Structure 1
Amino acid sequence: MREENGLLNRKKALRRLEDQVIWDVIIIGGGATGLGVAVDAASRGYETLLLEQSDFAKGTSSRSTKLVHGGVRYLAQGNIKLVYDALRERGILMKNAPHIVKKQAFIIPCYSLWDKIKYLTGLKLYDWLSGRFSFGRSRYISKNKMAGIMPGIRQEKLVGGIEYYDGQFDDARLAVNLAETSVANGGVVINYCKVNRVLNENGKVCGVVATDVETGRTYQLQSKTVINATGVFVDDILCLDTPGKKPIVRPSQGVHLVFDKSFLNSEAALMIPETADGRVLFAVPWHDHVLVGTTDTPLDKHTLEPKALETEISFILKTVQQYFSKPVTRKDVLSVFAGLRPLAAPQKETDSTKEISRDHKLMVSPSGLITITGGKWTTYRQMAEVTVNKAIEVGHLKKVACKTAALSIHGSATITHNCDYSIAVYGSDYNKIEALANEDGSLNNKILEDFPYTWANVIWAVRHEMARTVEDVLARRLRLLFLDARAALKAAPVVADLMAGELEKDVEWKKKQLESFRLLAANYLLETDRKMAIHKN
C-alpha cells in the first residue's frame, strides 16, 4: 500500500504491523544507511519495513559537517576508489535532490608558494576524478582577490588561495525525505519503535520483536531478511543475534561549533587542509550561520546523545583563531554538537582513527542477519544498493534491478522563490506548507522573530513528518537547536503548545517535554551556559 504523496503517518504505519504479513525486508535503524536501504528495497517492489528506536537521524546522521563530497583528505591518503565512488554519488544525489543539495565553493588559504603548488595539483586530480559529475573546476586565487571573496580570513603572510567545488546539504532534512520516498514507493517506516529481539528458526533469522516506545505494545514481525543498519549500535543488534559477538565497530567522535555568519563573512567555505594533529577542518556557511568542524576522537562507548569533550572544543577554537581575522572566543559559540562515526574496528590495537577504515563494511552472520556499517552520507545510496543486492541473495527474493540512481527523492524541486535556504530545503512541500498557513493566518507567525521558521512548519512536521517530540521539531525537522541552542530554548514553549494541540496532549505532557528539552539543549551549550540552563527554574 503506497501512502499518497509519501507523507508520513505514524498511526497508519503502526496499523500495518498488525497485518499478518511476511516482510521481504526488515531494516533496523533509521539513519542515512537504513533509510537508504528502505528507499532501495521499496522502489524495487519488496515488502519493506524500517524500525527506528528513536527519531529518524537522531544519531550520527543529523550531526555531520553537512558536506556531500568526495573527501579531499582521502585523496591525500591515496584512497582513490573511495574518492571516485563518492564523487559519482555526489553528482547523483544533486540530480535526485536538488532542493537539498547545492554546489558550494571552498577555499584553501595558501601561506606559502609550496602550499599553492601542492593543493592546486591535488585538486586538479580531484577535478579529473569527478568527470561528468563535476561541480566546477578548481583555480588559483590571488591574495588581492581573496580579500574580496573571503574578507574574514587572516591576511598576514597570505599569498593567495585555491578554490574548488563540492556539495552541501541538510542531513536531517534529507533523512526525512528518504523516509517519505520509501513510503511513496510502498515501504513502511516507523520511528520510536525499538527492536528487542531477533527471531530465529532452525538457526536462521526470520524476523524481529519490536516495541512501540510510546504505547509499550509489542509486535512479533516475520521477515525473509533482516538488515542491521544501526550505525554505532550495530554491535548491540549483533549480540541479540549472537551473544558475546566480538565488536565490529569502533566509534569515533566528531564535534562541531556554530557561530554567527560574520566570522567567515563569505559565501565560500573555508577548508583548513592540515591542523595541528594532521587532519582537516571546515568552516562552512550553513542556514545563515557558520558551522566549524570536525574533530576525530576515538571512543570506547556509544550513546544516542554524545557530548563534546572540552579538549575538542578548545582544539577547534584554537585552530580557527589562526585563520579568522575576527577574534573568536567561547562566548561566540552559539551551539556545539557531537556525533559518533561507526568506523570499522581495526584488527590490531590502536588509538588512532587514521588506522580505521572510512569505507563501508557489509557482512552476513551465520544466521543470515545482514549488517551494513561504516561509510558516509555521500555514499548512502551506493551502500544501500549493495545491501539490498545481498538481501536478494540471502532471502532468495525475486531479482529486481536497483532503481535509485535515477529515482527522485521526495520534495525534489528547485524553489524559485527568493527564500532562505532553511525554507528552500522543503522543495515541492514548500507550496503545501504555504497553503496550510493560508488556511489559518495565525500559522504565518514565526516561532522566533530572527529565524524563518513559522508555526506552519511545526504543524507540518507533526502532521506529515512523524515529529513526536519538541526535540524532533527543533533539532531535526527545523535545525534551530543545532544553529543556536539559546534560541531553541526560547522557542520550545511555542513549539510545545502547537504540538500539544496537534497530538491532543495535556499540560503534563507539555511540562515533561519542556523539561526534557531543557536538559537536552544544555548539552549544546558551553559549560557556563550549560549550568545556567540546567539549574534554571
Structure 2
Amino acid sequence: MKRQKLVQRIDENLSKEWDLIIIGGGATGLGVALDAVSRGYETLLLEQSDFSKGTSSRSTKLVHGGVRYLAQGDVALVREALRERGLLKKNAPHLVQNETFVIPGYKWWTKYYYTIGLTLYDLLSGKLSLGRSKPISKKEAVRRLPTIRQEGLRGGVIYHDGQFDDSRLSINLVQTIVENGGVALNYAEVTGLIKDSNKIAGANMKDMESGKTYALKAKSVINATGVFIDDIMKMDKDEHKEMVRPSQGVHLVLDKEFLPGEDAIMIPKTDDGRVLFAVPWHNKVVVGTTDTPLDEHSLEPVAMEEEIEFILKTAQKYLEKEPTRKDVKSVFAGLRPLAAPKEGDTKTKEISRSHKLIVSDSGLITITGGKWTTFRKMGEDTVDKAESVSKIGKTVSTSEDLKIHGYESNTDYDDPLYFYGSDRNEVKGITEEYPFLNEKLHADYEHIKAEVIWAARNEMARTVEDFLARRIRMLFLDARVAIDMAPEVAELMAGELGYDEDWVKTQVQEFTNLANRYLLEEYKPKELVNKN
C-alpha cells in the first residue's frame, strides 16, 4: 500500500470514470469503500487528512450493540449492531477482542434489573453472541474489579461486548480496499463537485503533497465526511439547511493500576443520566465519555474543563484509588455527527445513533449518523442506494464474509506486535536486515524502530503524527512519551521517505505542539541524543 503507486494509478487513468468516488476516510467512508470493492466496483476513496484522523480514531474503543440504546427501546438498532459486532469479531480477530463488562450494583434491585435487560441483549445477538450475562456476588465483583469502591456494594452483573483498536482497524481496512482493487488516498482534499446537466458527475481533488489538482469523473459520489457533511453538501447546493450538529465525547486515559484486572466497568446511569465506561486498552484504561453539544466542528477538538472534571468525579465515586488530574496520561475528544436538533432541543443523548441516507437533487448521496460497530452495514446500505440512484449496476454485497487485512485465526495478545496480525512477522523481518531497528523507541514501551519503517513503507504514514497517533496509539495512551519519541520517529521517517533535516525539525515541533493539547499540563520534551 504505497501512496505514490496509488497516485500513479490515477495519473495513468485521468479520463477514467470511477463507479464510486467516496469522500471521507473515517469509519463510514471506509465501510462504503469496503462494500463497493466486495462487489467489484471501481472505487476511489479520498481523505483530506489522514485516515481516521477525526472522530474515527477517538472512540470509546468498543464494538458493541449499545446497552443504552436497548434501554431507550431501539431494539432494531441494537440487533443490527450486535450482528455487526459478531461479524467484525469473525473477520478481524487480531483487532477485536471479547471484553467482559461488570455493572457494579449498589442497590438491592440492580442485579435483577440489569440481568433481565442484558438477557434480552444476549438473545438479540443470536449465534454471534460473545457470552452470556449473569448476576455476580459482591465477592466475585471485587475479585474481578479489585479497585472498585466496596462500601455499599451488593454485587453486580457481567455481560460481554467487543473491544478494539479503531484507527488500526482503519489502516487494515484501507489495505483490504487496495488489495481488492480499490484506490484510497490520504491527504487528498476534495475542493469541489463536478456536474453534468445539474447531476453529479465527479469531484475535483487536490493532492496535498504534490499540490497537483485533478478532475475525477464518477458515476456516483458519496459524501461520508462525518461532522463535515454539510461542507460537502454546500459544494452541491449553496442554500443548504445544516444536517449535522456535532456532539463532543471526551475520554481520559489512566494507568492500569486504576483498573488492574482484565474486566471493564460500565456505569449505566451517572448523575446526569449518561453512561460511563472504564475499559482496559493497550495496558492502559480509557474512561469516558461525555456528550456535549457544540456549534462548530474541528479536526482537533479540545476537551472542555467541565468534561474533564465530570469524568474524574464520576470515576472517583466508583474507584477506591481516586484518579486526579496528575494521573491523566492523555485526554482526547471526538465529535459525533448527530442530526441537527430541533430548535431549543439539546438532549443529544436521546438522538438515535441509527444511520441515515440523504439523496440530493443532483444525485449526491450523503450518509450520516451511525457508529463504528455498524460501519460495514452502513457501507452496504450506501452502495445499495448508489445502485438504485446512479445506476452503477446491480450486484450482491459480499463484505460480511470479507476477511480484513491482518486476519489470523489465533492471535497471541501477549506479543507486543499482536495488532499487526499476519503482518507481524514482516515487521519483525525488517530487523533481520537492520538489527538496530529492533531497538525500542522508548524504554517504558515495547514499540520498536522497525514499526516506523513499516508504517511509512506499507501503511501510508506520512507524518510523525500519523505514526504516533494512529499507526501506533502513543499519543492517545501517553502523550508525554509520544513527545519524547517524536525526534527519533521523525529521523527514521525522513530516512525512509527522503526528507531533509528541516522536515525533521518542523515535524517534531508541530507534533509537540499538538501533543500538548492532549495533556492537562504543558510538557517540555527531554533532549534526546541523536543516535544516527
Shorter-chain TM-score category? over 0.9
Give the TM-score normalised by the residue count of structure 2.
0.97
SS class of match (2:318):
coil
Choose the corresponding residue for 1:48, options 43, 52, 55.
43
Residue 516 of structure 2 corresponds to 522
Residue 171 of structure 2 corresponds to 176
Residue 529 of structure 2 corresponds to none
Choose the corresponding residue for 2:9, options 12, 16, 39.
16
| More deviation, 146-155/104-113 | 146-155
Contact persistence 1:60–1:340 (CA under 8 A): yes
Distance 2:361 2:289 in 1: 37
Contact persistence 1:229–1:371 (CA under 8 A): yes
SS class of match (1:180):
helix
Distance 1:519 1:415 in 2: 40
SS class of match (1:146):
helix
Matched, 1:496 2:490: yes
* Cα displacement (A) at 1:415: 4.7
Could you report, residue by residue, the CA deviation over 1:448-478 in whole angstroms, capped at 9, with x for unpaired residues? 1211211111100000000000000000000
Matched, 1:192 2:187: yes
Alignment RMSD: 1.3
Contact persistence 1:345–1:356 (CA under 8 A): no
Choose the corresponding residue for 1:112, options 101, 107, 110.
107
Residue 505 of structure 2 corresponds to 511
After TM superposition, list the pairs within 5 Å mapping 1:167-246 onto structure 2: 167-246=162-241
Structure 2 counterpart of 1:13, which letter?
Answer: L
Distance 1:136 1:166 in 2: 8
Contact persistence 1:344–1:360 (CA under 8 A): no
* Cα displacement (A) at 1:417: 4.3
Residue 260 of structure 2 corresponds to 265
After TM superposition, list the pairs within 5 Å mapping 1:325-364 onto structure 2: 325-364=320-359
Residue 480 of structure 1 corresponds to 474
SS class of match (2:468):
helix
SS class of match (2:216):
strand
Could you report, residue by residue, the CA deviation over 1:334-383 in whole angstroms, capped at 9, with x for unpaired residues? 00000000112234431220342311110110000000011000000000
Could you report, residue by residue, the CA deviation over 1:510-530 in whole angstroms, capped at 9, with x for unpaired residues? 11101110110011001x336
Give the TM-score normalised by the residue count of structure 1.
0.96
Distance 2:44 2:501 in 1: 34
Contact persistence 2:103–2:267 (CA under 8 A): yes
Contact persistence 2:64–2:82 (CA under 8 A): yes
Choose the corresponding residue for 1:255, options 244, 250, 258.
250
Cα 1:189–1:315 shift into 2, 3 Å: same
Structure 2 counterpart of 1:236, which letter?
Answer: D
Could you report, residue by residue, the CA deviation over 1:487-520 in whole angstroms, capped at 9, with x for unpaired residues? 0000001100000000110011011101110110
Residue 314 of structure 1 corresponds to 309
Distance 2:141 2:86 in 1: 28
Contact persistence 2:112–2:135 (CA under 8 A): no
Contact persistence 1:344–1:361 (CA under 8 A): no
Distance 1:509 1:57 in 2: 23
SS class of match (1:195):
strand
Residue 452 of structure 2 corresponds to 458
Residue 464 of structure 2 corresponds to 470
Choose the corresponding residue for 2:441, options 444, 447, 452.
447
SS class of match (2:217):
strand
Could you report, residue by residue, the CA deviation over 1:379-401 in whole angstroms, capped at 9, with x for unpaired residues? 00000001001111122112110
Alignment length (residue pairs): 524
| More deviation, 362-371/429-438 | 429-438
Distance 2:303 2:204 in 1: 34
Q: Runs of 5+ in structure 1 lacking a partner?
A: 1-7
Residue 528 of structure 2 corresponds to none
Distance 2:128 2:339 in 1: 28
| More deviation, 467-476/449-458 | 449-458
Residue 375 of structure 2 corresponds to 380
Matched, 1:161 2:152: no
After TM superposition, list the pairs within 5 Å mapping 1:386-405 onto structure 2: 386-405=381-400
SS class of match (1:341):
strand
* Cα displacement (A) at 1:74: 0.5
Structure 1 counterpart of 2:8, which letter?
Answer: R
After TM superposition, list the pairs within 5 Å mapping 1:403-414 onto structure 2: 403-414=398-409
Distance 2:392 2:216 in 1: 18
After TM superposition, list the pairs within 5 Å mapping 1:125-136 onto structure 2: 125-136=120-131
SS class of match (1:425):
helix
Task: Indicate the percent of aligned positions where both proteins have the same amino acid.
Answer: 59
Q: Runs of 5+ in structure 2 lacking a partner?
A: 526-532
